[in-house]
A and B are shown apart, each in its own frame.
Chain A
Amino acid sequence: AQKVTQAQTEISVVEKEDVTLDCVYETRDTTYYLFWYKQPPSGELVFLIRRNSFDEQNEISGRYSWNFQKSTSSFNFTITASQVVDSAVYFCALRAGYSTLTFGKGTMLLVSP
């Protein structure tokens, strides 16, 4: 079975602060994909990134960066210099083997001016 744990329920920061959202996953499969999605107040889930289990290279996209560590089964997401528009619920998700996408419970990020 697959499981995704996002231990942080809610994080509040002030604009321009850096913030890291944690994600820990569990799977017995050796081939799997990890995802991050953003859900703004409008409700639509927006894809941010996908990584496969064979590619541990960290990735940076503008103010976003992702740290994938198989040794600790973690796929953490950092926003640098946060902005008010980053306020949303962020979901980490796992797809292993032939299973469907399993989501964590999400972390609500509140960025205040």
Chain B
Amino acid sequence: QAVVTQEPSLTVSPGGTVTLTCGSSTGTVTGGHYPYWFQQKPGQAPRTLIYDTSNKPSWTPARFSGSLLGGKAALTLSGAQPEDEADYYCLLSYTGARPVFGGGTKLTVL
């Protein structure tokens, strides 16, 4: 089974910009992996932030964007707010195999 890697933790200043990445042990992440990003705050169910690389459900704030960057999937937060402090998970799909979550990134806004 593929291993999906994320930064364990990142810190961003309020109003700052940060990019979270999602890599695959099988090689370059492409649109064919249909990358998803999820946000989870303590004690709450996850929420879908980004699907299919860069598409957003209606609730996703404009300051979040998804892309492919340097062979990985990327989630960029521009203009971080205190309420963006959360755990972020990516999910990659694999042809002929099952989707795999990354280990998650704990984002601190400080």
A and B: interacting chains: no
* Chain B interface residues toward A at CB < 8 A: none
